[in-house]
């Protein structure tokens, strides 16, 4: 049971102060820590707190205050010059929902109550400092950005305002969060697949630039900048962009392992872990496997014990197992391998761009230009810790050292794809991507459960960017997917590893927003009801 009200009890205020601390000290480093783990807002006496009560505890809140100067006045000079004319203005602050409670019902309820309260108080303008990680949510609610970013590193905010004429709540309280047309605007495709993904306009513009020769000085400069950006993003020392898919990048890794001559261990818990085994078999590598069921997490104690009982030179695993969404623990595996001087290799094709991927100390890792990096498919890359020398026992195109040592580019590389990847790297913000996917994912998971669908990857151990669910045995995932596509909603279901198990996926990669999510969920719900 949940309810919404204006806080007026001492115990409610105490919980507000605790939630304030959890959000704006522990999660967003805006204030200093303290032993009491409470944060009393400096405008507490003037705030009205709209709160969500769930099972006798405060699960969410938003503060409303109409006494000036506002907190935004202290961050932005000449605030009045940025906002439209008004007769009564309020400032919205401290929007916070407890971790584990961030779902559609609570945020919708808070904003519905807020709308009624603002109508009652006759406010015709509301301003807010929106955390940059949730800027797209505020835009979906009708907030309009103004002025420069404010705040400090680690706690950046975009000033935004809202009027009763905005596309939001004051007149249509549940329009965004509770009911949208099931037909995508302008008949555009909504893509919630691991690939292809929707790209930003800037990436499309970059792709359409005039092609240039891969032998030219201009191309070499572009390639160097792109590889440097990949290195900065993943904290690796070297990177090499190649023409091909992520499978090619993994073939490069297998080729390098083939010249080590030592024995390895492949740990797997899904389709793409099984594919690593196939790569290894094709290169005649000497290796053991440690297998878990699909959707099951690794037992890291078991992995550690296996490295103690056997002499391994290398280990290979998939960071984000795309088939299920499980996010395997890169840092723990780095520690295990470091303790035994084992070279760690990682398939990071679905993790780079979606979550922090620190590849410092990793021997070899693979990635691709599509998926969470949100460029066009067609380029892949290998990231590595130490320089690699040419080796003529490796096929020419798979010789990573040959690529690295060549003056320029040894083989043809598309400048258009490279332009697009470079621009997408410039726009990539891991914190925004991860946090937005977490927020959208919470709503998707809750709604799928309400539909009676089984989610096979536990949120706690999964990438926020992949949600895998099972369709009822009475209906085939293929038939559902095909009907969704007729309404321009594209989920992932066509791969054999999904269709054989009657699975579908929401892949939260590329350029998407809350409206896309709402339309997709409503369309899916309608189809299943029929």
DSSP assignment of 480-496: HHHHHHHTTEEEB--SH
Asked if residues 194 and 509 have their Cβ atoms less than 8 Å apart, the reply is: yes
- 277: which residues sit within 8 A by CB, 6+ positions away? 266, 268, 289
Asked if residues 163 and 129 have their Cβ atoms less than 8 Å apart, the reply is: no
Which pLDDT belongs to residue 498?
A: 94
Which pLDDT belongs to residue 378?
A: 96
Which pLDDT belongs to residue 165?
A: 56
What is this structure's pTM? 0.73
Segments making up each domain of the chain, as ranges = 2-178, 185-198+429-529, 202-427
| Separation of alpha carbons 439 and 286, rounded Å | 43
CATH 3.40.640.10 fits domain 202-427: yes
Which pLDDT belongs to residue 107?
A: 85
pLDDT along the chain (530 residues), means of 10: 92 96 87 92 95 94 94 87 85 91 84 86 89 78 83 78 59 41 58 92 94 93 95 95 96 96 95 97 97 93 96 97 95 97 97 95 97 95 94 93 79 95 92 80 87 89 94 88 94 94 94 85 90
Which pLDDT belongs to residue 475?
A: 87
Which pLDDT belongs to residue 179?
A: 38
- Can you name the CATH fold of 185-198+429-529? 3.90.1150
CATH number of 2-178: 3.40.630.30
Which pLDDT belongs to residue 377?
A: 95
| Separation of alpha carbons 482 and 497, rounded Å | 17
């Amino acid at each position: 049971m949940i309810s919404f009200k204006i806080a007026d009890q001492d115990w409610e205020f105490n919980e507000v102060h605790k939630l304030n601390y959890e959000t704006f000290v522990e999660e967003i480093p805006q204030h200093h820590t303290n032993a009491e783990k409470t944060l009393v807002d400096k405008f507490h006496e003037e705030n009205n707190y709209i709160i969500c009560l769930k099972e006798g505890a405060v699960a969410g809140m938003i503060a409303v205050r109409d006494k000036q100067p506002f907190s935004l006045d202290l961050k932005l000079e000449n605030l009045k010059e940025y906002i439209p004319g008004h007769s009564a203005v309020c400032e919205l602050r401290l929007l916070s929902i407890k971790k584990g409670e961030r779902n559609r019902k609570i945020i919708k309820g808070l904003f519905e109550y807020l709308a009624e309260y603002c109508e009652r108080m006759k406010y015709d303008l509301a301003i807010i400092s929106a955390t940059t990680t949730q800027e797209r949510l505020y835009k979906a609610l009708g907030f309009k950005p103004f002025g420069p970013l404010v705040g400090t590193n680690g706690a950046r905010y975009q000033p935004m305002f809202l009027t009763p004429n905005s596309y939001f709540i004051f007149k249509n309280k549940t329009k965004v969060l509770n009911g949208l047309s099931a037909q995508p605007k302008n008949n555009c495709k909504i893509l919630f697949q691991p690939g292809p993904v929707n790209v930003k306009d800037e990436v499309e513009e970059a792709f359409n630039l005039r092609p240039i020769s891969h032998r030219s000085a201009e191309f070499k400069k572009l390639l160097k900048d792109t590889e440097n950006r990949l290195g900065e993003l993943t904290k690796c020392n070297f990177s090499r962009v190649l023409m091909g898919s992520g499978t090619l990048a993994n073939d490069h890794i297998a080729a390098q392992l083939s010249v080590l001559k030592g024995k390895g261990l492949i740990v797997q818990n899904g389709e793409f872990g099984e594919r690593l085994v196939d790569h290894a078999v094709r290169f005649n590598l000497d290796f053991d496997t440690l297998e878990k069921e699909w959707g099951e997490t690794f037992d890291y104690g078991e992995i550690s014990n296996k490295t103690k009982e056997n002499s391994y030179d290398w280990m290979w695993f998939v960071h984000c197992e795309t088939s299920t969404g499980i996010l395997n623990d890169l840092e723990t595996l780095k520690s295990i391998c470091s303790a035994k001087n084992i070279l760690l290799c990682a398939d990071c094709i679905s993790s780079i761009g979606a979550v922090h991927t620190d590849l410092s100390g990793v021997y070899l890792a693979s990635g691709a230009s599509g998926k969470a990096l949100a460029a066009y498919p067609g380029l892949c890359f290998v990231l590595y810790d130490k320089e690699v020398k040419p080796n003529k026992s490796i096929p020419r195109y798979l010789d990573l050292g040959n690529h690295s040592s060549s003056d320029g580019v040894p083989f043809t590389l598309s400048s258009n794809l490279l332009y697009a990847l470079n621009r997408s790297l410039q726009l990539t913000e891991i914190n925004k991507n991860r946090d937005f996917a977490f927020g959208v994912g919470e709503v998707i998971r809750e709604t799928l459960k309400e539909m009676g669908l089984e989610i096979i990857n536990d949120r706690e151990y999964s990438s926020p960017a992949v949600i895998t669910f099972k369709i009822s045995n009475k209906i085939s995932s293929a038939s559902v997917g095909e009907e969704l596509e007729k309404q321009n909603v594209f989920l992932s279901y066509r791969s054999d590893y999904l269709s054989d198990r009657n699975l579908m996926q929401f892949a939260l990669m590329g350029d998407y927003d809350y409206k896309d999510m709402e339309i997709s969920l409503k369309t899916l719900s309608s189809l299943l009801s029929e």
